[in-house]
């Protein structure tokens, strides 16, 4: 009888674990294949992945309504200032052009703002993805990050 109860408990735990994995993934999964992203800059020009991959790339998926996203922007700005032209830092939102332009006008961040024509498949933001020069996603962070963590990841990509 005890073996049967343990088998049932283990079965339930396995189901809950698997379901939890897929649920969490559905909340945070970002489209990481750069060729599948449909991106435009604020001037309306289509941006192709090859333009972004001349150096290691950091993409931060964000929204103006996302307080944690806005909270971590100074971290990305400091990284951009430290690394200069050794890295591309891009922020992508699926909000309207006017919403992004208003945010940009009221802030002094110097990274590139891009707009996804497709709705981003994320219910949680921010999500940050690090790409090597080949366009391969090498690391994905969910939630806010720090300058130190970003620099550590970028330095490990070399």
Report the pLDDT value the prediction gives residue 24, as an integer from 0 to 100.
47
% of the chain exceeding 70 in pLDDT:
82
Poorest-pLDDT segment among 56-65, 88-97, 133-142: 133-142
Instruction: With H, G, I as helix, E, B as strand and everything else as coil, classify residue 77.
Output: helix
Dihedrals phi, psi of 60, to nearest 5 degrees: -115, 120
CA distance 64 to 50: 27
pLDDT digits (tens, 9 = 90+) for 45-86: 998 877 888 889 999 999 999 999 999 999 999 999 999 989
Q: Picking from 8-17, 65-74, 144-153, which range would have the lowest pLDDT averaged per residue?
A: 8-17
Classify residue 157 as left (phi > 0), alpha (psi -120 to 50) or beta. alpha
Q: What is the total residue count of the chain?
A: 158
pLDDT at residue number 42:
93
Q: In terms of C-beta density within 10 A (0-12 exposed, 13-18 middle, 19 or more buried), how is residue 66 classed?
A: middle
Q: Where does the pLDDT of residue 27 fall: very low under 50, low under 70, confident under 90, or very high at 90 and above?
A: very low
pLDDT of 102 higher than 50: yes
Q: What is the pLDDT of residue 79?
A: 95
CB 128 within 8 A of CB 140: yes
């Amino acid at each position: 009888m005890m073996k049967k109860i343990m088998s049932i408990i283990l079965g339930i735990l396995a189901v809950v674990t698997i379901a939890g994995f897929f649920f969490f993934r559905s909340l945070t999964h970002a489209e990481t294949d750069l060729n599948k992203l449909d991106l435009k800059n604020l001037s309306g020009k289509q941006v192709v992945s090859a333009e972004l991959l001349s150096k290691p790339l950091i993409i931060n998926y964000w929204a103006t309504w996302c307080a944690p996203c806005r909270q971590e922007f100074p971290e990305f700005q400091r990284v951009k200032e430290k690394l200069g032209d050794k890295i591309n830092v891009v922020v992508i939102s699926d909000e309207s052009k006017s919403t992004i332009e208003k945010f940009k006008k009221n802030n002094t961040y110097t990274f590139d703002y891009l707009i996804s024509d497709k709705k981003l498949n994320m219910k949680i933001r921010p999500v940050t993805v690090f790409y090597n020069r080949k366009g391969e996603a090498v690391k994905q962070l969910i939630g806010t990050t720090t300058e130190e963590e970003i620099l550590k990841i970028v330095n490990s990509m070399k």
